Amino acid sequence: MRVELGKEKINDTLFSRKVAEELLSIYGSPLYVYDAVSLHRTIECITKAISYPRTQFHFASVTNGNVALLQIFRNAGWGLHANTPGDIYLGLEAGFNPSQIVYSGSNLNRAEMEQVLHWGVNTLNFDSIPQLQLCCEVVVQKGIYNSPFRLGLRLNLPEITGDSRIGVRPEEFITGLNITNKAGLKLSGLHFYRGTGTNATNAFTQIIDKVITTAQMLPDWEYLDFGGGFGYPYRRGGASFDWQEFGRKITEKINNLESKKIELIIEPGRAAIAKCGTLLARVVSVKWQDSKQIVGVDSTVANLSVPSVHGGYREIITYQQNTKIANSQTYITDVCGNTTYSRDYLGKNCQLPALEIGDIIAILDVGAYGYAMSSHFLHRPKPAEVLLENDKHRLIRKREDYSILLSNQVFSLNRS
């Protein structure tokens, strides 16, 4: 059976107009809403897709660092993938044990490397030989042996990783082995990352053999981290990563290995969390430019940067208050944010019905790289976040107020 995580999203993740109204009236607008039931379903679907018994899933919290959501992954038996020390900090706050956190990041300075090791993280995949060297130096100098240590290298092989800055070429493995040997440690892992948002399943399945052959160059090879990068079908009916197919292929290939002890780490970000998140905003202005509808909402590109700044498509649906005038006729519509920044769009050239002030728009599938990429650019405080579970909801991050714009600023109070 082909499992497409986004296929049923309209029925699956969307709440009624009544619930949208209730949420906005309680928590204010704009508002990030996460559907716990949908998230549980996605986690289950991904987990079940890979039957290889020594598989461990680690949620890539670069996509969403809300602690309440991280706890859902922890309770489901997943670990955490950390891109940065900040990811580790949030993961520990969410209750993950350091041994459940896999660090696969880039370019730590010495103080950060010490911090990561002090926190007790013991699976670390490095992006360069100097980073491996730094880790080994810190381990030896400070005597921080987080056993059982699992050190790995991120793979850079242009034929499969393309033109990527990340990773280490196989010809450098020997240098890495010398460094770990000297420190009395082992180089036991290979980490592969396809690149984010890849929907073509064969872009993963076709290179499994090559990644495995490369990993076998490490004499103490124990684990394969196959990364994240698994796509999500933002466009209904569009290409969709097939977890069942991927799970079948990777299980078969690793099962065929002579060494039956290889551990498989999978660290999905977007594929796990995109679907459950929705950004609600209220319409504050409507005007027409010829046949185009220009809808102004009380949110901004700084709350959700992907559609406008990074060119990603996110579907927008509407909840109209005046159901009498709601009909199926749609118009080309730009959904504009509440600033005059030239890129302040939340959607461009969408097909939406004629809207009125007070209507609600819902931007779908924003659980990944949504709030996590929001900023204080344009000096608007960030929205609140709410977790919805069936008909219950609770605040999981407070709305900011204007005081946040002053935080850490140093100035003297001289207003004359």
Ligand X SMILES: Cc1ncc(COP(=O)(O)O)c(C=O)c1O
CB of 215 vs ligand X, minimal distance in Å: 16
CB of 336 vs ligand X, minimal distance in Å: 28
Tell the residue number behind the tokens 């393309």, with chain if given: 162
8-state DSSP, 402 = G
* Both tokens assigned to 370: 């949504």
User: How far is Cα 83 from Cα 104, in angstroms, rounded to an integer?
Assistant: 6
CB of 265 vs ligand X, minimal distance in Å: 10
Residues making contact with ligand X (CB under 6 A): 60, 62-63, 81, 83, 104, 193, 196-197, 227-230, 267-271, 368
Neighbours of 1 (CB within 10 A): 4
Choice between 27 and 230, CB closer to ligand X: 230
Choice between 249 and 270, CB closer to ligand X: 270
Question: SS3 sequence, 50-109?
Answer: CCCCCEEEEEECCCCCCHHHHHHHHHCCCEEEECCHHHHHHHHHCCCCHHHEEECCCCCC
Choice between 64 and 333, CB closer to ligand X: 64
Q: Please work out, in degrees rounded to the nearest 5, the angle formed at the alpha carbon of residue 196 by the alpha carbons of 192 and 198.
A: 95
Give, for 208, the enclosing helix (H) or strand (E).
helix 208-215
Choice between 233 and 268, CB closer to ligand X: 268
CB of 162 vs ligand X, minimal distance in Å: 14
Choice between 86 and 184, CB closer to ligand X: 86
CB of 163 vs ligand X, minimal distance in Å: 16
Tell the residue number behind the tokens 């005046």, with chain if given: 322
Query: How far lies 289's CA from each of 94, 193, 285, in Å?
Result: 48, 45, 13
Choice between 32 and 57, CB closer to ligand X: 57
CB of 408 vs ligand X, minimal distance in Å: 26
